[in-house]
Structure 1
Amino acid sequence: MHTYDMIARTVAQEGAGACFALMGDANMNFATRLGEAGCRMIYVRHEHCAVAAAMAYARKTGDIGLATVTCGPGLTQLMTALPAAVRAHLPLVVIAGEAPLKTGWYNQEIDQAPLVTATGAAYHSLHWPARMPTAIRDAFVQARRERRPVVIGVPFDLQDLLWEGSTKLPAPSKDLMPVVSPMPANADDLARIARLVDGAGKIVVMAGMGAVEAGAAQACKALAEKCDGLLATSLPARGLFHDDPYSIGIAGGFSSDMARQCLAEADLVIAVGCSVARHNADAGKLWPKARVLQIDVEPITLSQGRVAIDTHLRADARLGTEALCAAIAARAARWRSAALAEAIATTPADGMDFPAEAGVHDPRDVVTALDAAIPMDWELVNSSGHCSYYFAQMPRRPQERFLTIREFGAIGNGISFAMGAAAACPERPIVMFDGDGSLLMHVQELETIRRHGLNILIIVLNDGAYGSEIHKLRAEGLSDAGAVFGRTDLAAIARGFGIGGETVTDLSVLPGLIADFQRTGGAAVWDVPVSDQVVSPVIRRAHPGLVKR
């Protein structure tokens, strides 16, 4: 038995359901043995995509994500995915190689630790074989406890050594995680906060991922109903209140016109399990009159360089919200009304008029048609970039069926997120929404999707450009030529990779296409040409002179 055998056994014992891998000299023996030990191996075409897919897998399963890459250039390819995982608070373990210790020079050698730690992830070099099983297990403990990526570097000449230590495995990380009960609210804090809420006028209860993970949705609904308030979510938690008539949807840069109108009237925002990040608050402009109360086990005042929160109730998101609901006085419905519910349900997310163009679609019409046609139990994955605003406007879709990870703001991740979601949810079709520029960054993964038989439908809003950049350049009065590339025939590219490809020039065909895909499964890319003259509200607010009514 070699050291790489023992490493594989240790990792396999951690119970990761899938490992996203790209082989090289410094990890291929380990990866082969890990697959033989029963872990599902998904071999990608780019190292970035391995870690990005592990991110989506971690978010969808609520468990740890696992990836493996080789040393040197294999690891340097991770420098975009790692900070994205750090900022999204996703627990990952990456088993990476290191250059061999026995050589005086190796062409792929690089000091890997500073690169990794600069992203906010942790890095551990394992140079003592006998301790490697325990050190690997400890890395899984750290990833779980700190909710961030941990990268393990193992020189590949050490991996090749015959194993001379004990073959007894250490206890897995799950056995060492503390079992703790949710934190209730302090009685004195609760009385103080109840007086604040009772004295407020218009209240919005806003939930973040902390509320999702604590199972606080019903508690938030009850609190909003009792205080005559409305409901909203951060972008990653979008859809948590999809079935409530008084949910105004996303609070933040992706807010609808109606949400912005209601939040502007609020004088108290109750942020439940929510860090009130800059985009979530639209840099403080979203609720100009409101104080912010945070219910969280780790309350903060400063968030991303700004004073974001005024007062706090330290408690588990669900228990704190339930306790606050019980402590406040019920009030008559004044803000909540049938007329407001009707307005929330029927007002378009974006009311700006843009002239129709022949041969291309308004992206808002595309999203409306897709929302009507895609079955409600399919898994949806949103990418990043200009198009992601439009795809987020599907208020009927529940949070557990709609994945959004965009804390680092990088495009090019969508196809990887779709692969991670497909590995986590193999029983359901995955629909990934993307833009043409983003998809083309890692279009090689279409081959990975085909080879592994992943059930993924990719729908692309194709404006022939980097959408955000062309609108910003135009707003500055500069040439957009550097961001315009023409509409690549994405459907033909998909067919070249051996999967389905369609160019959608008529939105009326979408129900039939969806029905066909539901019957056959497999993988496909649908290329939907859209206008490059329709500008999202996110861009319009940043550049108010760009579009004239």
Structure 2
Amino acid sequence: MSDRKTFDVLAEAFWQEDVATCFALLGDANMNWATRLSQMGCRMIYVRHEHCAVSAAMSYARATRDVGVATVTCGPGLTQILTALPAAVRAGIPLVIFAGEAPLKAAWYNQEIDQGPLVTATGAAYHPMHQPARMPTQVRDAFLQARTERRPVVLGVPFDLQDRSWTGDTALPEPSKAIMPRLAPMMPHPDEVKRAAEAIEAAERVVVVGGRGAFLAGAAPDCRTLAGRIGGLLATTLPARGLFHDDPFSLGIMGGFSTHVAREFLAEADLIVAIGARLASHATDAGKLFPKARVLHVDERPLAVSQGRRAADLHLRSDAKLGVAALAERVSERSGWRSPDLARRIAESPADPEEFQREQGLHDPRDVVSALDAALPGDWEMVNSSGHCSYFFAQMPRRPVERFHTIREFGAIGNGISYAIGVAAARAGNRVVLFDGDGSLMMHVQELETIRRHGLSVAICVMNDGAYGSEIHKLRAEGLPDDGAIFGRPDFAGIARGFGLDGTRVEDLSALPDLVAEFGRTGGAAVWDFHVSDRVASPVVRRSHPPHHTREPQRT
């Protein structure tokens, strides 16, 4: 180019970082840069809301195990992403976000705001880029920081500087991958292995729990070996849901989403061996899930305290795979508490045996999930959103961890459709199924148009109870009016058709196999609307808000 601009060089710096996909909403302060990046060959997913750009980049990063990239403009473009950033921080997801800044030369600009403090308050990093000569290095360093610290890095670039002619070096710095430290897995110390093995030998009822760290380290086979040698049971944290999906002695999820049987056996455990897990409060019911058990934490950064409570009693500092393999070699074989009857109970017991009165014309959400689990192919990508419905959708025991995506560390609803977009971009060519609630989907229903426009193959299963599910059950448990959480049941099938997608209200669950088969043949996008009873409360809500009153909910 005869007049090479700074935004050209910035686009080249991102392209050099192997950025294959960028999620974007354009404005004055990022559109030139984004256009250049697109012209270089980067796939741009243009969403309808800035929050959705960052949320989609989150699930893309999680699915690809690489840095996710998004871009927003300055001012209101930046403030719109302040819910997505803490979610990424708490989930440990590396992102680099190209954000515009107001022009430095302007005496007054209506979208100007001090962006740095807003971003850093979320736990993300913010780097103002005000020296053009340093900008390419700052881009490289942002990718380094995102990768090493596992959190979002936001680059603020004034758009008047972007439009300047480039006068700096013609050569770019080495990309981040070229200078990243190449670290070998951490070996466990023999003395620590000995102490940990002695604790396992002394225990009678052991549960081996795999976290996402165990999944990433490829430690699942070693966890199975360890549990098998000592007659222990298996479980996972929610982010690693499905790690042992085909093992007859897997209890499934440990934590708030545990099944009835899992909670029974966890309550009797005398040792929890947690592999590559954060031991978060929700994963342990704040320590109440296994009151008789000591906890052995195997991790490169073992924890004494997590989220305000003592997390572990014993520690083995090691790579997850190497640590578990070392323990399996040191312990003696025994039958433990495994038996054919126990395996049968695990396989045949319902996740939640609570009885609820049937309502005419409405599904029990547990029946919906059972029908979906039976009908959906095992190699499709499943995305579970947040909210009351997410407990039910997590109860799909046949789904492997590689195909089940969930990000819940911040507890925000409204992210499901963005996460589905990110997974669809990461796993191009495969079918994606999103499980969401009506309240969550309504928050960003405009992204149905994004799915159609970009030709993504996404089927959305919406659990439609006409309300914010968690809130109505909590209000009713308190004996308070629930009107403020009830909104009526949107016609999602009609909304989908209005956006040019297929839409079906599923009144008969026996029709699901045909819907699934059609989606498998044609791809495209669809919304399947399940009207469910708002009287079926999840065990999570029932435990946290046991009913104080027996009367019907009040109406104002």
Tell me the TM-score normalised to structure 2 length: 0.98
Structure 1 match to 2:535:
533
CA distance in 1, matches of 2:492, 2:409: 27
CA drift at 1:330: 1.3
SS in 1 for 2:398: coil
Which of 53, 56, 78 is equivalent to 1:53? 56
Structure 2 match to 1:474:
476
Matched, 1:387 2:385: no
SS in 2 for 1:300: coil
SS in 2 for 1:353: coil
Q: Do the aligned residues in 2 keep the contact of 1:253 with 1:280 (CA within 8 Å)?
A: yes
CA drift at 1:346: 0.5
Q: What letter corresponds to residue 194 of structure 1 in structure 2?
A: A
CA drift at 1:547: 9.2
Q: Do the aligned residues in 1 keep the contact of 2:22 with 2:44 (CA within 8 Å)?
A: yes
Structure 1 match to 2:461:
459
CA distance in 2, matches of 1:7, 1:417: 27
Q: What letter corresponds to residue 464 of structure 1 in structure 2?
A: G
CA distance in 2, matches of 1:232, 1:45: 39
Which of 260, 279, 283 is equivalent to 1:280? 283
Which of 273, 292, 295 is equivalent to 2:295? 292
Q: Do the aligned residues in 2 keep the contact of 1:540 with 1:546 (CA within 8 Å)?
A: no
Q: What letter corresponds to residue 234 of structure 1 in structure 2?
A: T
Which of 416, 422, 425 is equivalent to 2:424? 422
Which of 501, 506, 509 is equivalent to 1:507? 509
Matched, 1:144 2:133: no
CA distance in 2, matches of 1:2, 1:85: 32
Matched, 1:204 2:207: yes
SS in 2 for 1:519: helix
CA distance in 1, matches of 2:230, 2:548: 40
CA distance in 2, matches of 1:489, 1:16: 38
Q: Do the aligned residues in 2 keep the contact of 1:8 with 1:34 (CA within 8 Å)?
A: yes
Q: What letter corresponds to residue 127 of structure 1 in structure 2?
A: H
Residues 400-434 of structure 1, C-alpha deviations (whole Å, 9 max, x = no match): 00001000000000000000000000121000000
SS in 1 for 2:234: strand
CA drift at 1:495: 0.4
Q: What letter corresponds to residue 245 of structure 2 in structure 1?
A: H
Aligned-CA RMSD value? 0.8
Residues 375-417 of structure 1, C-alpha deviations (whole Å, 9 max, x = no match): 1110000000000000000011000000010000000000000
Q: What letter corresponds to residue 169 of structure 1 in structure 2?
A: L
Structure 2 match to 1:268:
271
Structure 2 match to 1:187:
190
Q: Do the aligned residues in 1 keep the contact of 2:365 with 2:536 (CA within 8 Å)?
A: yes
Q: Do the aligned residues in 2 keep the contact of 1:210 with 1:272 (CA within 8 Å)?
A: yes
Q: Do the aligned residues in 1 keep the contact of 2:53 with 2:70 (CA within 8 Å)?
A: yes
Matched, 1:245 2:253: no
CA distance in 1, matches of 2:199, 2:516: 50
- Equivalent positions of 1:128-139 (< 5 A) are 128-139=131-142
Matched, 1:371 2:373: yes
Percent identity between matched residues is: 66
Q: What letter corresponds to residue 394 of structure 2 in structure 1?
A: A
Q: What letter corresponds to residue 154 of structure 2 in structure 1?
A: V
Distance 1:120 1:406, change over 3 A: same
Matched, 1:350 2:346: no
CA drift at 1:166: 1.4
Q: Do the aligned residues in 1 keep the contact of 2:235 with 2:252 (CA within 8 Å)?
A: yes
CA distance in 1, matches of 2:368, 2:195: 48
CA drift at 1:546: 6.2
Q: Do the aligned residues in 1 keep the contact of 2:59 with 2:422 (CA within 8 Å)?
A: yes
Q: Do the aligned residues in 2 keep the contact of 1:540 with 1:547 (CA within 8 Å)?
A: no
CA distance in 2, matches of 1:78, 1:95: 12
Residues 302-324 of structure 1, C-alpha deviations (whole Å, 9 max, x = no match): 00000111110000000000001
Residues 297-344 of structure 1, C-alpha deviations (whole Å, 9 max, x = no match): 00111000001111100000000000011011111x141110000100
CA distance in 1, matches of 2:301, 2:315: 10
Residues 195-236 of structure 1, C-alpha deviations (whole Å, 9 max, x = no match): 111001100000111101101000000000011100000001
Q: What letter corresponds to residue 179 of structure 2 in structure 1?
A: L
Structure 1 match to 2:553:
none
Q: What letter corresponds to residue 345 of structure 1 in structure 2?
A: A
Q: Do the aligned residues in 1 keep the contact of 2:366 with 2:392 (CA within 8 Å)?
A: yes
Tell me the TM-score normalised to structure 1 length: 0.99
Q: Do the aligned residues in 1 keep the contact of 2:479 with 2:549 (CA within 8 Å)?
A: no
CA drift at 1:165: 1.0
CA distance in 1, matches of 2:387, 2:284: 19
CA drift at 1:544: 2.1
Q: Which moved more, 1:191-200 or 1:239-248?
A: 191-200
Structure 2 match to 1:445:
447
Aligned residues: 547
CA distance in 2, matches of 1:174, 1:203: 41
Which of 26, 40, 43 is equivalent to 1:40? 43
Structure 1 match to 2:487:
485
Matched, 1:339 2:357: no
Matched, 1:67 2:70: yes
Is there any run of 5+ residues in structure 1 with no aligned partner, and where?
A: none
Structure 1 match to 2:228:
225
CA distance in 1, matches of 2:24, 2:336: 56
CA distance in 1, matches of 2:196, 2:375: 45
CA drift at 1:545: 2.5
Q: What letter corresponds to residue 389 of structure 2 in structure 1?
A: C
SS in 1 for 2:134: helix
Which stretches of structure 1, 4 residues or longer, exceed 4 Å deviation after superposition?
Answer: none
Residues 466-488 of structure 1, C-alpha deviations (whole Å, 9 max, x = no match): 00000011111111101100001
- Equivalent positions of 1:14-163 (< 5 A) are 14-163=17-166
Q: What letter corresponds to residue 438 of structure 2 in structure 1?
A: D
Q: What letter corresponds to residue 312 of structure 2 in structure 1?
A: I
CA distance in 2, matches of 1:518, 1:266: 43
CA distance in 2, matches of 1:167, 1:438: 47
CA drift at 1:505: 0.6
CA distance in 2, matches of 1:173, 1:255: 40
Matched, 1:169 2:168: no
Q: What letter corresponds to residue 418 of structure 1 in structure 2?
A: A
Q: What letter corresponds to residue 209 of structure 2 in structure 1?
A: M
Q: Which moved more, 1:114-123 or 1:536-545?
A: 536-545
Distance 1:230 1:102, change over 3 A: same
Structure 2 match to 1:214:
217
SS in 1 for 2:238: coil
CA distance in 1, matches of 2:256, 2:285: 5
Q: What letter corresponds to residue 528 of structure 2 in structure 1?
A: W
Q: Do the aligned residues in 2 keep the contact of 1:52 with 1:417 (CA within 8 Å)?
A: yes
Structure 2 match to 1:11:
14
CA distance in 1, matches of 2:454, 2:406: 23
Q: Do the aligned residues in 1 keep the contact of 2:200 with 2:331 (CA within 8 Å)?
A: yes
Q: Do the aligned residues in 2 keep the contact of 1:418 with 1:456 (CA within 8 Å)?
A: yes
Distance 1:51 1:352, change over 3 A: same
Q: Do the aligned residues in 2 keep the contact of 1:369 with 1:507 (CA within 8 Å)?
A: yes
Residues 76-101 of structure 1, C-alpha deviations (whole Å, 9 max, x = no match): 00110000000000000000000000
